[in-house]
Chains A and B, each alone.
Chain A
Amino acid sequence: MGKTIAEKIFDAHFVDNPCDDIYVIRLDAVFCHEITTPVAVNDLVSRGKDRVFDASKIKAVIDHVTPAKDSKTALQGKILREWARRNEIKDFFDIGRNGVCHAIFPEKGFVRPGYTIIMGDSHTCTHGAFGAFAAGVGTTDLEVGILKGVCAFQYPKTLKIQITGSLPEGVYAKDVILSVISRLEVNGATNRVMEFSGPVVAGMSMEARMTLCNMAIEAGGTCGICYPDTVTVEYLWPFISGEFDSKEEALKTYQKFLPDPDAVYDGEIQMDVSDLSPQVTYGYKPDTVKAVRDMEGTPVDQVYIGSCTNGRIEDLRVAAQILKGRKISDAVRAIVSPATPKIFKQALDEGIINIFMDAGFCVTNPTCGACLGMSNGVLAEGEVCASTTNRNFFGRMGKGGMVHLMSPATAAATAIAGHITNSELYKA
């Protein structure tokens, strides 16, 4: 019987089958940030087990609240920093070198096809864009991952999602994934891996694939996953050129994880996106999705461009194209958070930061920032934000606030108009 990508990865990492369909698998990487890791660290210390299974496989970053905003967040950073030092974790990204975890770790080449990865963060599903099994976990799974390098999961069931047709101009990966979530609903993929394929995904950049996989969790999915191909190899080549004689060899090695033609799926859907228009959420769940044209004119107080969903260089380029030579409306305030220092520098070099500033945006340092209302960009009660992030739960960005999720293009157009509007109106 054929296997899916996730099944092949599980088989290659098998440690134990304690009972039923539970598999304990070996981990290739454990990612850590300052919000969910300190409690695990403190517990390991209190158990007299302050050690790590393999310091080279642990990557850590301060990203949620950075620089620290108060004594409590300073302590979270301190716990992570000191733990990384005493356990000789070399890949620790402190203030000045830090960025949003799901942007900076792939950017550093830490994610490879066929890898198994956990992190105490639900959007870890992002890394499936590389053909890896990457799942968000809680602090206890993280703690065992740090100590033992293993994690337990149900043997993966997979939902095959084929994206067909061709993406119209002005419609992006964010619109595709919002439309997928709208169709599946918020628990439509629970306990399943979402395997994205088809010509539209094959034609996407790694950045776009990360946007796609990033929101798998919003349909309940354990992981999003894309097929490793030449796009994957090209992105990774600076990091893997020492391991392979040629790109062809790398591709051949990675493609052994491709699903077999007779792989068995727990459901298949096909979506033709040729007629898809820009999408936006209207409620407090990520599956409450409408066409932007049906939300035209909805007033907003704040516009936010950034996050692990849409804070990458391609996202900033798209927004800058729309913002160039224009000003944001007096009715709104707007914030952009480039997701990593590399992206920030690229945006500086390409003149994108100037475009944002000239338009009237506040440019922040790389951080998770406004997305979850923990640090900057918090909404007041009753305020509304047009946002390129991934969650629109009630109060997500600040107590009593509302969030409309959308693509960077729609967010930029909305900033200019002062209300939700279609980026088509701002074509150069």
Chain B
Amino acid sequence: MKNFNGRVLFLDRADINTDEIIPARYLTEITKEALKPYLLEDLKFDGFDPAKDIAGKQVIVTRSNFGCGSSREHAPWALEVNGINLVIGESFARIFRQNMFNCGMMAVELPAGVIDRIFAEFSESPSTMATDLANSRFKITAGSRNIEIPFSISGFDRALVEAGGWVGYADGKY
């Protein structure tokens, strides 16, 4: 299974699309590794600088409809090769969400109020997310402060994470 723990990158904007996650001009690459330098290159909003803010982060916390737009799996791949296997948000576009679990990664939805609280209490400090998959709980920590957050994913999503993705799952079964 992939790593779902680490430093948090806060992306405080709704509707971050897959063109912003990985622009189409890089879709000429045919290896995942080649996408590494271009993650979130076209994402522009106050307080975010891809050149400085991505390094050393393993988890993204964001708002609603993350990953909308193109079906490109290059979006999860660009995250994966940067060591980011977990995105937590209020909601996700269908294809992006499925692509994440199909790669054995996780896109986990939390209620808007919980996302608001995480942003309010942690986004200004260096924060770390720890994932207890067996008990479906996150623990976010900044300095001496922490909160535990229960989450739920479907049995199917869990099976995909455990199988390392949809190819591994489907190949044995269909």
Contacts and interface: CB of A to CB of B under 8 A. Distances in A.
B30 A38 contact: yes
Interface stretch (B120-128, B136-144, B165-173): B165-173
Interface in A384-400: 391, 393-396, 399
B48 to A, nearest CB: 13
Q: Which of B68, B71, B98, B166 lies at the interface centre, i.e. has the most chain A CB atoms within 10 A of its CB?
A: B71
A36 interface: yes
Contact of B73 (A39, A148, A191, A394): A39
A85 interface: no
Contacts of B174: 15-16, 24, 144, 148, 150
Interface stretch (B4-12, B18-26, B110-118): B18-26
A121 to B, nearest CB: 6
Nearest to A221: B94
Interface residues of A, number: 56
Contacts of B19: 372, 391, 393-396
Q: Which of A16, A36, A64 lies at the interface centre, i.e. has the most chain B CB atoms within 10 A of its CB?
A: A36
Interface in A143-179: 143-144, 147-148, 150, 152
Contacts of A65: 28
Given A18-B156, A19-B154, A138 B25 contact: no
A140 B69 contact: no
Contacts of B76: 138
A409 to B, nearest CB: 26
A172 B79 CA distance: 39
A375 B164 CA distance: 34
A140 B23 contact: no
A75 B159 contact: no
B15 A374 contact: no
Interface in B69-106: 69-73, 76, 91, 93-95, 98-99, 102-103
Given A73-B28, A138-B76, A394 B91 contact: no
A191 B154 CA distance: 15
Interface string A115-128: 00000111010000
Interface in B1-54: 15, 17, 19-20, 23-25, 27-32, 42, 44
Nearest to A398: B25
A11 interface: no
Contacts of B94: 190-191, 220, 222
B167 A140 contact: yes
Interface in A39-67: 39, 42-43, 47, 49, 64-65
Contacts of B155: 18-20
B58 interface: no
Contacts of A91: none
A42 B73 contact: no
Contacts of B166: 140-141, 144, 152
A398 to B, nearest CB: 8
A75 B154 CA distance: 39
Contact of B65 (A16, A79, A220): A220
Given A76-B28, A393-B19, A138 B156 contact: no
A28 to B, nearest CB: 16
B71 A137 contact: yes
Contacts of B62: none
A138 B98 contact: yes
A285 interface: yes
Interface string A358-398: 00000000000000111000000000000000010111100
20 contacts: A20-B156, A36-B72, A65-B28, A72-B28, A122-B71, A122-B95, A136-B71, A138-B71, A138-B72, A138-B99, A139-B99, A144-B174, A187-B15, A187-B65, A190-B91, A191-B94, A220-B65, A285-B15, A374-B24, A399-B25
Q: Can you list the 4 inter-chain pairs with the closest CB atoms, starting with the nearest? A: A138-B73, A138-B99, A140-B102, A19-B155
